[in-house]
Chains A and B, each alone.
Chain A
Protein backbone atom coordinates (compact mmCIF):
# COMPACT_ATOMS: atom_id res chain seq x y z
CA UNK A 1 0.00 0.00 0.00
CA UNK A 2 3.06 2.26 -0.05
CA UNK A 3 2.31 3.89 -3.35
CA UNK A 4 3.38 7.44 -3.91
CA UNK A 5 4.98 9.07 -0.86
CA UNK A 6 2.38 11.67 0.08
CA UNK A 7 1.21 13.47 3.21
CA UNK A 8 1.10 11.36 6.36
CA UNK A 9 -2.12 9.47 6.94
CA UNK A 10 -4.25 10.55 9.92
CA UNK A 11 -4.53 6.91 10.87
CA UNK A 12 -2.53 4.12 9.35
CA UNK A 13 -2.76 0.42 10.17
CA UNK A 14 -0.21 -1.95 8.77
CA UNK A 15 -0.42 -5.70 9.10
CA UNK A 16 -2.53 -5.44 12.25
CA UNK A 17 -3.77 -8.61 13.92
CA UNK A 18 -5.88 -9.42 16.96
CA UNK A 19 -6.48 -12.72 18.73
CA UNK A 20 -9.04 -13.58 21.39
CA UNK A 21 -7.48 -16.56 23.12
CA UNK A 22 -6.89 -19.00 20.27
CA UNK A 23 -9.47 -17.39 18.03
CA UNK A 24 -8.03 -15.30 15.24
CA UNK A 25 -10.29 -12.27 14.90
CA UNK A 26 -8.10 -10.20 12.63
CA UNK A 27 -4.95 -10.99 10.65
CA UNK A 28 -2.75 -8.80 8.46
CA UNK A 29 -5.08 -5.87 7.93
CA UNK A 30 -3.72 -2.60 6.54
CA UNK A 31 -5.55 0.62 5.85
CA UNK A 32 -4.99 4.35 5.59
CA UNK A 33 -7.25 7.23 6.51
CA UNK A 34 -6.50 10.64 5.02
CA UNK A 35 -8.00 14.03 5.75
CA UNK A 36 -10.91 14.82 3.46
CA UNK A 37 -11.23 11.22 2.34
CA UNK A 38 -13.51 8.32 3.12
CA UNK A 39 -12.03 4.87 3.68
CA UNK A 40 -14.66 2.15 3.47
CA UNK A 41 -14.28 -1.15 5.29
CA UNK A 42 -16.46 -3.81 3.71
CA UNK A 43 -17.15 -7.29 4.93
CA UNK A 44 -19.83 -9.80 5.77
CA UNK A 45 -20.96 -10.63 9.31
CA UNK A 46 -18.05 -12.05 11.28
CA UNK A 47 -15.47 -10.68 8.87
CA UNK A 48 -13.73 -8.74 11.64
CA UNK A 49 -15.17 -5.29 10.98
CA UNK A 50 -16.17 -4.75 14.63
CA UNK A 51 -12.78 -5.87 15.91
CA UNK A 52 -11.12 -3.44 13.52
CA UNK A 53 -13.15 -0.47 14.74
CA UNK A 54 -12.62 -1.42 18.36
CA UNK A 55 -8.86 -1.23 17.80
CA UNK A 56 -9.11 2.18 16.13
CA UNK A 57 -11.54 3.40 18.83
CA UNK A 58 -9.32 2.27 21.70
CA UNK A 59 -11.71 -0.34 23.12
CA UNK A 60 -9.29 -3.17 22.30
CA UNK A 61 -5.53 -3.25 21.73
CA UNK A 62 -4.01 -4.94 18.71
CA UNK A 63 -1.66 -7.92 19.18
CA UNK A 64 0.48 -7.56 16.10
CA UNK A 65 1.34 -5.01 13.42
CA UNK A 66 1.42 -1.27 13.90
CA UNK A 67 -1.11 1.50 14.42
CA UNK A 68 0.10 4.98 13.50
CA UNK A 69 -1.71 8.19 14.31
CA UNK A 70 -0.30 11.20 12.44
CA UNK A 71 2.70 9.05 11.59
CA UNK A 72 3.46 8.22 15.20
CA UNK A 73 3.33 4.58 16.24
CA UNK A 74 0.94 4.12 19.14
CA UNK A 75 -1.33 1.79 21.08
CA UNK A 76 -4.63 3.18 22.33
CA UNK A 77 -5.40 2.32 25.95
CA UNK A 78 -9.00 3.58 26.17
CA UNK A 79 -11.80 5.23 24.19
CA UNK A 80 -10.94 8.41 26.09
CA UNK A 81 -7.40 8.35 24.73
CA UNK A 82 -8.67 7.79 21.19
CA UNK A 83 -10.98 10.78 21.61
CA UNK A 84 -8.11 12.90 22.90
CA UNK A 85 -6.11 11.95 19.81
CA UNK A 86 -9.01 13.14 17.64
CA UNK A 87 -10.61 9.81 16.78
CA UNK A 88 -14.36 9.78 17.34
CA UNK A 89 -16.38 6.62 16.86
CA UNK A 90 -20.10 6.47 16.17
CA UNK A 91 -21.53 3.05 16.90
CA UNK A 92 -24.57 1.63 15.23
CA UNK A 93 -26.56 0.92 18.40
CA UNK A 94 -24.57 2.53 21.14
CA UNK A 95 -24.29 6.00 19.78
CA UNK A 96 -26.76 7.56 22.19
CA UNK A 97 -28.69 7.19 25.46
CA UNK A 98 -32.32 7.02 24.25
CA UNK A 99 -34.04 8.42 27.35
CA UNK A 100 -31.80 11.49 27.62
CA UNK A 101 -32.64 14.79 25.91
CA UNK A 102 -30.80 15.57 22.67
CA UNK A 103 -28.69 18.33 24.25
CA UNK A 104 -27.52 16.09 27.11
CA UNK A 105 -26.57 13.40 24.63
CA UNK A 106 -24.77 15.86 22.40
CA UNK A 107 -22.35 16.90 25.13
CA UNK A 108 -22.17 13.59 27.02
CA UNK A 109 -18.65 12.98 28.27
CA UNK A 110 -17.45 16.48 27.30
CA UNK A 111 -19.82 18.78 29.17
CA UNK A 112 -18.88 22.48 29.19
CA UNK A 113 -18.90 23.94 32.69
CA UNK A 114 -18.96 27.31 34.40
CA UNK A 115 -18.63 28.53 37.98
CA UNK A 116 -16.05 27.47 40.54
CA UNK A 117 -15.70 25.12 43.50
CA UNK A 118 -18.90 23.53 44.73
CA UNK A 119 -20.93 25.69 42.34
CA UNK A 120 -19.24 24.31 39.25
CA UNK A 121 -22.05 23.39 36.96
CA UNK A 122 -22.89 22.56 33.38
CA UNK A 123 -23.46 25.55 31.13
CA UNK A 124 -26.95 24.39 30.20
CA UNK A 125 -27.84 27.44 28.08
CA UNK A 126 -24.69 27.13 26.04
CA UNK A 127 -25.30 23.39 25.66
CA UNK A 128 -28.85 23.87 24.39
CA UNK A 129 -27.90 26.70 22.01
CA UNK A 130 -24.83 24.93 20.66
CA UNK A 131 -26.71 21.67 20.09
CA UNK A 132 -29.33 23.45 18.07
CA UNK A 133 -26.93 25.52 15.99
CA UNK A 134 -24.47 22.67 15.36
CA UNK A 135 -27.25 20.39 14.17
CA UNK A 136 -28.56 23.16 11.97
CA UNK A 137 -25.10 23.58 10.45
CA UNK A 138 -25.18 19.92 9.45
CA UNK A 139 -28.60 20.55 7.98
CA UNK A 140 -30.63 18.93 10.77
CA UNK A 141 -33.46 21.20 11.83
CA UNK A 142 -34.54 19.91 15.20
CA UNK A 143 -37.91 20.83 16.67
CA UNK A 144 -36.89 20.66 20.30
CA UNK A 145 -33.47 19.89 21.80
CA UNK A 146 -35.23 18.84 25.02
CA UNK A 147 -36.91 15.83 23.48
CA UNK A 148 -35.46 12.43 24.39
CA UNK A 149 -33.12 11.37 21.61
CA UNK A 150 -35.02 8.08 21.45
CA UNK A 151 -37.89 9.92 19.81
CA UNK A 152 -35.72 10.76 16.79
CA UNK A 153 -35.55 8.41 13.82
CA UNK A 154 -32.56 6.11 13.43
CA UNK A 155 -31.08 8.29 10.70
CA UNK A 156 -31.47 11.47 12.75
CA UNK A 157 -29.78 9.80 15.71
CA UNK A 158 -26.80 8.84 13.56
CA UNK A 159 -26.65 12.41 12.28
CA UNK A 160 -26.68 13.85 15.80
CA UNK A 161 -23.81 11.53 16.70
CA UNK A 162 -21.88 12.62 13.60
CA UNK A 163 -22.54 16.31 14.30
CA UNK A 164 -21.31 15.75 17.86
CA UNK A 165 -18.05 14.26 16.63
CA UNK A 166 -17.52 17.11 14.18
CA UNK A 167 -18.25 19.71 16.86
CA UNK A 168 -15.71 18.23 19.26
CA UNK A 169 -12.97 18.65 16.71
CA UNK A 170 -12.60 15.05 15.66
CA UNK A 171 -10.02 14.61 12.94
CA UNK A 172 -11.05 11.05 12.24
CA UNK A 173 -14.63 9.84 12.26
CA UNK A 174 -15.26 6.10 12.54
CA UNK A 175 -18.78 5.09 11.56
CA UNK A 176 -20.00 1.59 12.38
CA UNK A 177 -22.64 0.50 9.87
CA UNK A 178 -24.40 3.86 9.92
CA UNK A 179 -26.89 2.76 7.27
CA UNK A 180 -27.45 -0.85 8.33
CA UNK A 181 -30.81 -0.46 10.02
CA UNK A 182 -32.11 2.32 7.80
CA UNK A 183 -34.44 2.57 4.84
CA UNK A 184 -33.29 3.80 1.43
CA UNK A 185 -34.22 7.43 2.00
CA UNK A 186 -32.79 7.60 5.54
CA UNK A 187 -29.57 5.99 4.31
CA UNK A 188 -29.24 8.72 1.71
CA UNK A 189 -29.63 11.38 4.39
CA UNK A 190 -26.93 9.79 6.54
CA UNK A 191 -24.55 9.42 3.59
CA UNK A 192 -25.04 13.13 2.85
CA UNK A 193 -23.87 13.96 6.40
CA UNK A 194 -20.95 11.61 6.00
CA UNK A 195 -19.98 13.49 2.86
CA UNK A 196 -20.52 16.79 4.69
CA UNK A 197 -18.11 15.67 7.41
CA UNK A 198 -15.57 14.73 4.75
CA UNK A 199 -15.94 18.12 3.09
CA UNK A 200 -15.11 19.74 6.42
CA UNK A 201 -11.74 18.02 6.19
CA UNK A 202 -12.28 15.00 8.40
CA UNK A 203 -10.91 11.59 7.61
CA UNK A 204 -13.76 9.09 7.67
CA UNK A 205 -13.75 5.33 8.21
CA UNK A 206 -17.06 3.97 6.99
CA UNK A 207 -17.83 0.41 7.98
CA UNK A 208 -20.58 -1.17 5.94
CA UNK A 209 -21.65 -4.34 4.19
CA UNK A 210 -23.36 -2.42 1.42
CA UNK A 211 -20.98 -1.87 -1.54
CA UNK A 212 -23.45 0.50 -3.19
CA UNK A 213 -23.38 2.87 -0.23
CA UNK A 214 -19.60 2.52 -0.01
CA UNK A 215 -19.04 3.30 -3.68
CA UNK A 216 -21.24 6.40 -3.52
CA UNK A 217 -18.89 8.17 -1.12
CA UNK A 218 -15.70 6.11 -0.71
CA UNK A 219 -12.15 6.94 -1.79
CA UNK A 220 -10.53 3.72 -0.56
CA UNK A 221 -12.00 0.29 -0.04
CA UNK A 222 -10.75 -2.43 2.27
CA UNK A 223 -12.42 -5.83 2.04
CA UNK A 224 -12.35 -8.19 4.99
CA UNK A 225 -13.24 -11.84 4.99
CA UNK A 226 -13.05 -14.18 7.96
CA UNK A 227 -10.61 -11.90 9.74
CA UNK A 228 -8.25 -11.39 6.81
CA UNK A 229 -7.92 -8.59 4.32
CA UNK A 230 -8.82 -9.91 0.87
CA UNK A 231 -8.57 -6.67 -1.09
CA UNK A 232 -7.46 -3.06 -0.74
CA UNK A 233 -8.53 -0.76 -3.54
CA UNK A 234 -8.42 2.94 -4.30
CA UNK A 235 -11.43 4.36 -6.04
CA UNK A 236 -9.75 4.56 -9.47
CA UNK A 237 -8.65 0.94 -9.35
CA UNK A 238 -12.02 -0.69 -8.91
CA UNK A 239 -15.52 -0.51 -10.38
CA UNK A 240 -18.76 -0.82 -8.46
CA UNK A 241 -19.49 -4.10 -10.23
CA UNK A 242 -16.15 -5.56 -9.23
CA UNK A 243 -16.54 -4.33 -5.66
CA UNK A 244 -20.03 -5.79 -5.43
CA UNK A 245 -18.83 -9.10 -6.84
CA UNK A 246 -15.94 -9.35 -4.40
CA UNK A 247 -18.13 -8.27 -1.54
CA UNK A 248 -20.82 -10.79 -2.41
CA UNK A 249 -18.24 -13.53 -2.19
CA UNK A 250 -16.89 -13.62 -5.76
CA UNK A 251 -16.68 -17.23 -6.84
CA UNK A 252 -18.66 -18.36 -3.82
CA UNK A 253 -21.61 -16.52 -5.28
CA UNK A 254 -21.30 -18.38 -8.58
CA UNK A 255 -21.28 -21.63 -6.67
CA UNK A 256 -24.30 -20.56 -4.68
CA UNK A 257 -26.14 -19.56 -7.84
CA UNK A 258 -25.38 -22.94 -9.27
CA UNK A 259 -26.60 -24.70 -6.15
CA UNK A 260 -29.83 -22.76 -5.96
CA UNK A 261 -30.63 -23.08 -9.63
CA UNK A 262 -34.01 -24.68 -10.20
CA UNK A 263 -33.79 -27.79 -12.22
Chain B
Protein backbone atom coordinates (compact mmCIF):
# COMPACT_ATOMS: atom_id res chain seq x y z
CA UNK B 1 0.00 0.00 0.00
CA UNK B 2 2.74 2.44 -0.78
CA UNK B 3 1.07 4.29 -3.60
CA UNK B 4 -2.06 6.36 -3.22
CA UNK B 5 -3.92 4.32 -5.77
CA UNK B 6 -4.28 0.62 -5.20
CA UNK B 7 -5.44 -2.39 -7.14
CA UNK B 8 -9.10 -1.76 -6.45
CA UNK B 9 -9.24 1.35 -8.56
CA UNK B 10 -6.86 0.40 -11.32
CA UNK B 11 -9.81 -0.60 -13.45
CA UNK B 12 -11.80 2.61 -12.95
CA UNK B 13 -12.20 3.66 -16.55
CA UNK B 14 -11.16 7.16 -17.64
CA UNK B 15 -14.76 7.65 -18.72
CA UNK B 16 -15.94 7.31 -15.12
CA UNK B 17 -13.40 9.90 -14.01
CA UNK B 18 -14.61 12.22 -16.75
CA UNK B 19 -18.19 11.80 -15.55
CA UNK B 20 -17.18 13.25 -12.22
CA UNK B 21 -16.00 16.55 -13.71
CA UNK B 22 -18.25 19.57 -13.13
CA UNK B 23 -17.65 20.88 -16.66
CA UNK B 24 -18.87 17.73 -18.38
CA UNK B 25 -22.43 18.90 -19.09
CA UNK B 26 -21.25 22.20 -20.50
CA UNK B 27 -18.55 20.66 -22.73
CA UNK B 28 -21.06 18.24 -24.25
CA UNK B 29 -23.44 21.17 -24.74
CA UNK B 30 -20.74 23.36 -26.28
CA UNK B 31 -19.80 20.66 -28.80
CA UNK B 32 -23.46 20.19 -29.73
CA UNK B 33 -24.04 23.92 -30.17
CA UNK B 34 -20.83 24.27 -32.19
CA UNK B 35 -21.75 21.42 -34.55
CA UNK B 36 -25.29 22.74 -34.85
CA UNK B 37 -24.23 26.20 -36.01
CA UNK B 38 -21.36 24.83 -38.11
CA UNK B 39 -24.04 23.09 -40.15
CA UNK B 40 -26.77 25.72 -39.91
CA UNK B 41 -24.70 28.83 -40.65
CA UNK B 42 -22.23 28.89 -43.55
CA UNK B 43 -20.08 31.70 -42.20
CA UNK B 44 -19.87 30.28 -38.66
CA UNK B 45 -16.55 28.46 -39.23
CA UNK B 46 -14.67 31.48 -40.59
CA UNK B 47 -11.84 32.85 -38.44
CA UNK B 48 -13.45 36.28 -38.24
CA UNK B 49 -16.67 34.70 -36.98
CA UNK B 50 -14.71 32.83 -34.32
CA UNK B 51 -13.22 36.11 -33.24
CA UNK B 52 -16.69 37.67 -32.97
CA UNK B 53 -17.98 34.71 -30.99
CA UNK B 54 -14.98 34.83 -28.64
CA UNK B 55 -15.49 38.54 -28.08
CA UNK B 56 -19.15 38.05 -27.21
CA UNK B 57 -18.15 35.18 -24.92
CA UNK B 58 -15.44 37.20 -23.20
CA UNK B 59 -17.73 40.10 -22.26
CA UNK B 60 -19.95 37.60 -20.44
CA UNK B 61 -17.07 35.38 -19.35
CA UNK B 62 -15.10 38.06 -17.51
CA UNK B 63 -18.02 38.31 -15.10
CA UNK B 64 -19.05 34.64 -15.24
CA UNK B 65 -15.68 33.57 -13.76
CA UNK B 66 -15.95 35.48 -10.44
CA UNK B 67 -19.70 34.85 -10.32
CA UNK B 68 -18.95 31.12 -10.61
CA UNK B 69 -16.48 31.35 -7.71
CA UNK B 70 -19.12 33.14 -5.67
CA UNK B 71 -21.68 30.45 -6.49
CA UNK B 72 -19.24 27.70 -5.51
CA UNK B 73 -18.98 29.65 -2.27
CA UNK B 74 -22.75 29.26 -1.96
CA UNK B 75 -23.95 32.80 -2.69
CA UNK B 76 -25.54 34.93 -5.42
CA UNK B 77 -24.88 38.44 -6.60
CA UNK B 78 -27.84 40.06 -8.31
CA UNK B 79 -26.07 43.43 -8.35
CA UNK B 80 -23.27 42.16 -10.64
CA UNK B 81 -24.91 43.43 -13.85
CA UNK B 82 -25.51 47.03 -12.83
CA UNK B 83 -22.24 47.12 -10.88
CA UNK B 84 -20.45 46.96 -14.25
CA UNK B 85 -22.28 50.13 -15.31
CA UNK B 86 -21.65 51.80 -11.95
CA UNK B 87 -17.95 51.07 -12.28
CA UNK B 88 -17.83 52.63 -15.76
CA UNK B 89 -19.85 55.66 -14.63
CA UNK B 90 -17.54 56.31 -11.69
CA UNK B 91 -14.37 56.39 -13.82
CA UNK B 92 -16.01 58.47 -16.52
CA UNK B 93 -17.61 61.03 -14.25
CA UNK B 94 -14.66 61.30 -11.86
CA UNK B 95 -12.25 61.96 -14.73
CA UNK B 96 -14.59 64.45 -16.41
CA UNK B 97 -15.61 66.38 -13.30
CA UNK B 98 -12.11 66.57 -11.86
CA UNK B 99 -10.56 67.12 -15.28
CA UNK B 100 -8.11 64.48 -14.22
CA UNK B 101 -6.10 61.95 -16.15
CA UNK B 102 -8.55 59.14 -16.96
CA UNK B 103 -6.25 56.71 -15.12
CA UNK B 104 -7.11 58.55 -11.91
CA UNK B 105 -10.78 57.87 -12.64
CA UNK B 106 -9.97 54.24 -13.40
CA UNK B 107 -8.18 53.95 -10.04
CA UNK B 108 -10.98 55.62 -8.09
CA UNK B 109 -13.46 53.36 -9.87
CA UNK B 110 -11.51 50.28 -8.74
CA UNK B 111 -11.68 51.42 -5.12
CA UNK B 112 -15.38 52.31 -5.27
CA UNK B 113 -16.32 49.07 -7.03
CA UNK B 114 -14.34 46.92 -4.59
CA UNK B 115 -15.98 48.83 -1.72
CA UNK B 116 -19.45 48.00 -3.10
CA UNK B 117 -18.42 44.33 -3.35
CA UNK B 118 -17.13 44.42 0.22
CA UNK B 119 -20.40 46.05 1.30
CA UNK B 120 -22.39 43.15 -0.20
CA UNK B 121 -20.19 40.61 1.56
CA UNK B 122 -20.16 42.49 4.84
CA UNK B 123 -23.95 42.89 4.91
CA UNK B 124 -24.37 39.20 4.09
CA UNK B 125 -22.06 37.94 6.80
CA UNK B 126 -23.26 40.37 9.46
CA UNK B 127 -27.02 40.15 8.91
CA UNK B 128 -27.08 36.48 7.86
CA UNK B 129 -29.93 37.34 5.47
CA UNK B 130 -30.01 35.38 2.19
CA UNK B 131 -27.66 36.84 -0.43
CA UNK B 132 -30.67 36.99 -2.77
CA UNK B 133 -32.23 39.72 -0.59
CA UNK B 134 -29.03 41.61 0.19
CA UNK B 135 -27.86 41.85 -3.42
CA UNK B 136 -31.38 42.51 -4.70
CA UNK B 137 -31.27 45.56 -2.46
CA UNK B 138 -27.86 46.59 -3.78
CA UNK B 139 -29.08 45.96 -7.33
CA UNK B 140 -32.01 48.33 -6.94
CA UNK B 141 -29.97 50.97 -5.14
CA UNK B 142 -27.24 50.90 -7.77
CA UNK B 143 -29.78 51.03 -10.61
CA UNK B 144 -31.29 54.13 -9.05
CA UNK B 145 -27.94 55.73 -8.28
CA UNK B 146 -26.61 55.09 -11.80
CA UNK B 147 -29.53 57.00 -13.33
CA UNK B 148 -29.88 59.57 -10.57
CA UNK B 149 -26.25 60.65 -10.36
CA UNK B 150 -25.79 60.68 -14.12
CA UNK B 151 -28.82 62.92 -14.65
CA UNK B 152 -27.79 65.11 -11.73
CA UNK B 153 -24.29 65.62 -13.07
CA UNK B 154 -24.64 65.62 -16.85
CA UNK B 155 -28.39 66.35 -17.28
CA UNK B 156 -28.82 63.38 -19.66
CA UNK B 157 -28.87 59.63 -19.21
CA UNK B 158 -25.39 59.21 -20.63
CA UNK B 159 -22.04 60.59 -19.53
CA UNK B 160 -20.03 63.21 -21.44
CA UNK B 161 -17.35 61.91 -23.77
CA UNK B 162 -13.89 61.53 -22.28
CA UNK B 163 -12.21 60.60 -25.59
CA UNK B 164 -10.13 63.79 -25.74
CA UNK B 165 -8.90 63.54 -22.17
CA UNK B 166 -5.40 62.81 -20.99
CA UNK B 167 -4.64 59.11 -20.59
CA UNK B 168 -7.54 57.97 -22.77
CA UNK B 169 -5.38 56.35 -25.51
CA UNK B 170 -3.40 54.18 -23.07
CA UNK B 171 -6.51 53.21 -21.10
CA UNK B 172 -8.20 52.36 -24.38
CA UNK B 173 -5.22 50.14 -25.25
CA UNK B 174 -5.45 48.26 -21.97
CA UNK B 175 -9.23 47.77 -21.81
CA UNK B 176 -10.62 47.95 -25.33
CA UNK B 177 -7.92 47.58 -27.99
CA UNK B 178 -7.93 45.12 -30.86
CA UNK B 179 -5.02 42.77 -31.49
CA UNK B 180 -4.33 41.31 -34.91
CA UNK B 181 -3.13 37.72 -34.92
CA UNK B 182 -2.56 36.05 -38.30
CA UNK B 183 -4.76 38.56 -40.10
CA UNK B 184 -7.67 38.11 -37.69
CA UNK B 185 -8.71 40.83 -35.24
CA UNK B 186 -9.17 39.81 -31.62
CA UNK B 187 -10.47 42.06 -28.86
CA UNK B 188 -8.22 42.39 -25.83
CA UNK B 189 -11.09 41.36 -23.52
CA UNK B 190 -10.42 37.79 -24.70
CA UNK B 191 -6.98 38.02 -23.05
CA UNK B 192 -8.47 39.45 -19.86
CA UNK B 193 -10.98 36.60 -19.87
CA UNK B 194 -8.35 33.87 -20.33
CA UNK B 195 -6.17 35.45 -17.64
CA UNK B 196 -9.11 35.47 -15.21
CA UNK B 197 -9.93 31.82 -15.97
CA UNK B 198 -6.31 30.83 -15.28
CA UNK B 199 -6.17 32.89 -12.09
CA UNK B 200 -9.50 31.59 -10.79
CA UNK B 201 -8.58 27.96 -11.57
CA UNK B 202 -5.27 28.39 -9.75
CA UNK B 203 -7.03 29.84 -6.71
CA UNK B 204 -9.72 27.16 -6.68
CA UNK B 205 -7.57 24.11 -7.23
CA UNK B 206 -4.24 24.94 -5.70
CA UNK B 207 -4.59 27.49 -2.93
CA UNK B 208 -5.90 27.44 0.61
CA UNK B 209 -8.46 30.08 -0.35
CA UNK B 210 -9.83 27.68 -2.97
CA UNK B 211 -10.26 24.97 -0.37
CA UNK B 212 -12.16 27.45 1.78
CA UNK B 213 -14.40 28.53 -1.13
CA UNK B 214 -15.51 24.94 -1.75
CA UNK B 215 -15.99 24.41 1.97
CA UNK B 216 -18.10 27.49 2.75
CA UNK B 217 -20.36 26.61 -0.18
CA UNK B 218 -20.49 22.89 0.55
CA UNK B 219 -21.08 22.97 4.29
CA UNK B 220 -20.67 26.32 5.95
CA UNK B 221 -21.09 25.07 9.50
CA UNK B 222 -18.52 22.32 9.08
CA UNK B 223 -16.11 24.83 7.59
CA UNK B 224 -16.57 27.20 10.51
CA UNK B 225 -16.15 24.38 13.00
CA UNK B 226 -12.72 23.42 11.63
CA UNK B 227 -11.53 27.01 11.69
CA UNK B 228 -12.20 28.32 8.16
CA UNK B 229 -12.77 32.11 8.23
CA UNK B 230 -16.21 31.99 6.60
CA UNK B 231 -16.94 35.72 6.66
CA UNK B 232 -13.56 36.69 5.22
CA UNK B 233 -13.91 34.11 2.43
CA UNK B 234 -17.36 35.38 1.43
CA UNK B 235 -16.40 39.04 1.53
CA UNK B 236 -13.38 38.15 -0.64
CA UNK B 237 -15.66 36.43 -3.16
CA UNK B 238 -17.90 39.48 -3.45
CA UNK B 239 -14.84 41.64 -3.95
CA UNK B 240 -13.77 39.23 -6.69
CA UNK B 241 -17.08 39.84 -8.47
CA UNK B 242 -16.48 43.57 -8.02
CA UNK B 243 -13.03 43.23 -9.58
CA UNK B 244 -14.58 41.51 -12.62
CA UNK B 245 -17.20 44.28 -12.77
CA UNK B 246 -14.41 46.85 -12.75
CA UNK B 247 -12.66 45.24 -15.77
CA UNK B 248 -15.97 44.90 -17.63
CA UNK B 249 -16.95 48.44 -16.74
CA UNK B 250 -13.67 49.92 -17.99
CA UNK B 251 -14.09 47.96 -21.23
CA UNK B 252 -17.61 49.34 -21.58
CA UNK B 253 -16.35 52.87 -21.08
CA UNK B 254 -13.24 52.76 -23.25
CA UNK B 255 -14.87 50.92 -26.18
CA UNK B 256 -17.12 53.93 -26.72
CA UNK B 257 -15.97 56.83 -24.48
CA UNK B 258 -19.48 57.45 -23.12
CA UNK B 259 -21.60 55.27 -20.82
CA UNK B 260 -25.39 54.81 -20.91
CA UNK B 261 -26.47 54.86 -17.28
CA UNK B 262 -29.34 52.40 -17.73
CA UNK B 263 -27.20 49.57 -19.05
CA UNK B 264 -26.38 46.31 -17.33
CA UNK B 265 -29.82 45.49 -15.90
CA UNK B 266 -30.54 41.80 -16.54
CA UNK B 267 -26.95 40.85 -17.21
CA UNK B 268 -26.55 39.47 -13.69
CA UNK B 269 -28.83 36.59 -14.69
CA UNK B 270 -26.76 35.90 -17.79
CA UNK B 271 -23.62 35.56 -15.66
CA UNK B 272 -25.43 33.19 -13.33
CA UNK B 273 -26.77 31.19 -16.28
CA UNK B 274 -23.26 30.85 -17.73
CA UNK B 275 -21.96 29.61 -14.37
CA UNK B 276 -24.83 27.16 -13.95
CA UNK B 277 -24.50 25.79 -17.48
CA UNK B 278 -20.81 25.40 -16.66
CA UNK B 279 -21.62 23.03 -13.83
CA UNK B 280 -21.85 25.30 -10.78
CA UNK B 281 -24.43 24.04 -8.34
CA UNK B 282 -27.01 26.66 -7.43
CA UNK B 283 -26.72 25.39 -3.86
CA UNK B 284 -22.94 25.87 -3.77
CA UNK B 285 -19.93 23.70 -3.07
CA UNK B 286 -19.37 22.45 -6.59
CA UNK B 287 -18.28 23.88 -9.92
CA UNK B 288 -15.27 25.24 -11.79
CA UNK B 289 -13.92 28.37 -13.43
CA UNK B 290 -13.34 26.53 -16.70
CA UNK B 291 -16.98 25.42 -16.65
CA UNK B 292 -18.17 29.01 -16.40
CA UNK B 293 -15.96 29.83 -19.38
CA UNK B 294 -17.56 27.04 -21.40
CA UNK B 295 -20.95 28.37 -20.31
CA UNK B 296 -20.01 31.84 -21.53
CA UNK B 297 -18.71 30.34 -24.78
CA UNK B 298 -22.05 28.56 -25.36
CA UNK B 299 -23.70 31.91 -24.75
CA UNK B 300 -21.40 33.63 -27.26
CA UNK B 301 -21.85 30.93 -29.90
CA UNK B 302 -25.63 30.98 -29.56
CA UNK B 303 -26.03 34.76 -29.63
CA UNK B 304 -23.75 35.21 -32.68
CA UNK B 305 -24.62 31.90 -34.37
CA UNK B 306 -28.23 32.96 -34.70
CA UNK B 307 -27.07 36.12 -36.46
CA UNK B 308 -24.73 34.18 -38.78
CA UNK B 309 -27.59 31.78 -39.60
CA UNK B 310 -29.66 34.87 -40.42
CA UNK B 311 -32.45 33.88 -38.08
CA UNK B 312 -34.62 36.14 -36.06
CA UNK B 313 -32.57 36.92 -32.90
CA UNK B 314 -35.78 36.66 -30.89
CA UNK B 315 -35.11 32.93 -30.77
CA UNK B 316 -31.92 33.44 -28.80
CA UNK B 317 -33.59 33.43 -25.38
CA UNK B 318 -35.41 30.22 -26.26
CA UNK B 319 -32.12 28.47 -27.02
CA UNK B 320 -30.56 29.82 -23.85
CA UNK B 321 -33.45 28.62 -21.71
CA UNK B 322 -33.42 25.14 -23.24
CA UNK B 323 -29.65 24.95 -22.75
CA UNK B 324 -29.99 25.98 -19.11
CA UNK B 325 -32.59 23.30 -18.39
CA UNK B 326 -30.64 20.54 -20.14
CA UNK B 327 -27.34 21.46 -18.52
CA UNK B 328 -28.89 21.70 -15.06
CA UNK B 329 -30.56 18.31 -15.41
CA UNK B 330 -27.28 16.75 -16.46
CA UNK B 331 -25.42 18.47 -13.63
CA UNK B 332 -27.97 17.34 -11.06
CA UNK B 333 -27.46 13.79 -12.21
CA UNK B 334 -23.68 14.14 -11.97
CA UNK B 335 -23.98 15.54 -8.47
CA UNK B 336 -26.18 12.70 -7.32
CA UNK B 337 -23.45 10.32 -8.36
CA UNK B 338 -20.84 12.34 -6.54
CA UNK B 339 -22.84 12.62 -3.34
CA UNK B 340 -24.30 9.12 -3.33
CA UNK B 341 -23.88 7.43 0.01
CA UNK B 342 -23.29 3.73 0.20
CA separation between A248 and B339, bound complex, in Å? 36
Interface residues of B in 185-225 (CB under 8 A from A): 202, 206-208, 210-212, 214-215, 218-219, 221-225
Residue picked from A80, A99, A132, A153, most chain B C-beta under 10 Å: A99
Q: Which of B3-11, B75-83, B89-97 has 4 or more CB atoms under 8 Å from chain A?
A: B3-11
A111 and B215 contacting across the interface, CB-CB below 8 Å? no
CA separation between A57 and B222, bound complex, in Å? 13
Besides A97-B215, A153-B342, 7 other A-B contacts (C-beta < 8 A): A98-B285, A100-B215, A108-B212, A111-B208, A121-B206, A141-B1, A143-B6
- Which partner residue on chain B sits nearest A95 by CB separation? B222
Q: Mostly helix, strand, loop or mixed at chain B's interface?
A: helix
A residues lining the B interface (CB < 8 Å): 57, 59, 79-80, 83, 89, 91, 94-100, 104, 107-111, 113, 120-122, 124, 128-129, 132, 136, 141, 143-145, 148, 150-154
- Which partner residue on chain B sits nearest A104 by CB separation? B211
Q: How far is the CB of B7 from chain A (nearest CB, A)?
A: 10
Question: Could you say which residues of chain B place their CB within 8 Å of the CB of A141?
Answer: 1
A-B contact count (CB 8 A): 103
CA separation between A128 and B222, bound complex, in Å? 21
Question: Could you say which residues of chain A place their CB within 8 Å of the CB of B214?
Answer: 97, 99-100, 104
Give the residue of B9, B202, B210, B219 whose beta carbon is less than 8 angstroms from that of A98: B219
B4 and A150 contacting across the interface, CB-CB below 8 Å? no
On chain B, the number of residues with a Cβ less than 8 Å from chain A's Cβ atoms is 35
With contact pairs A94-B219, A129-B4 given, residues A113 and B208 touching in the complex (Cβ less than 8 Å): yes
Question: Could you say which residues of chain A place their CB within 8 Å of the CB of B208?
Answer: 111, 113, 122
Give the residue of B5, B206, B219 whose beta carbon is less than 8 angstroms from that of A122: B206
Q: Mark B136-149, 1 if CB is under 8 A from A, else 0.
A: 00000000000000
Question: Could you say which residues of chain B place their CB within 8 Å of the CB of A57?
Answer: 225
A120 and B340 contacting across the interface, CB-CB below 8 Å? no
Q: How far is the CB of A80 from chain B (nearest CB, A)?
A: 4
Question: Could you say which residues of chain B place their CB within 8 Å of the CB of A113?
Answer: 208
Q: Mark B313-342, 1 if CB is under 8 A from A, else 0.
A: 000000000000000000000010011111
| B226 on interface, CB distance cutoff 8 Å | yes
| B106 on interface, CB distance cutoff 8 Å | no
| B71 on interface, CB distance cutoff 8 Å | no
With contact pairs A97-B285, A143-B8 given, residues A150 and B227 touching in the complex (Cβ less than 8 Å): no
CA separation between A159 and B210, bound complex, in Å? 25
CA separation between A151 and B221, bound complex, in Å? 20
| B228 on interface, CB distance cutoff 8 Å | yes
Q: How far is the CB of B70 from chain A (nearest CB, A)?
A: 16
CA separation between A93 and B207, bound complex, in Å? 26
Question: Could you say which residues of chain A place their CB within 8 Å of the CB of B222?
Answer: 91, 94-97, 108
Question: Could you say which residues of chain B place their CB within 8 Å of the CB of A128?
Answer: 4
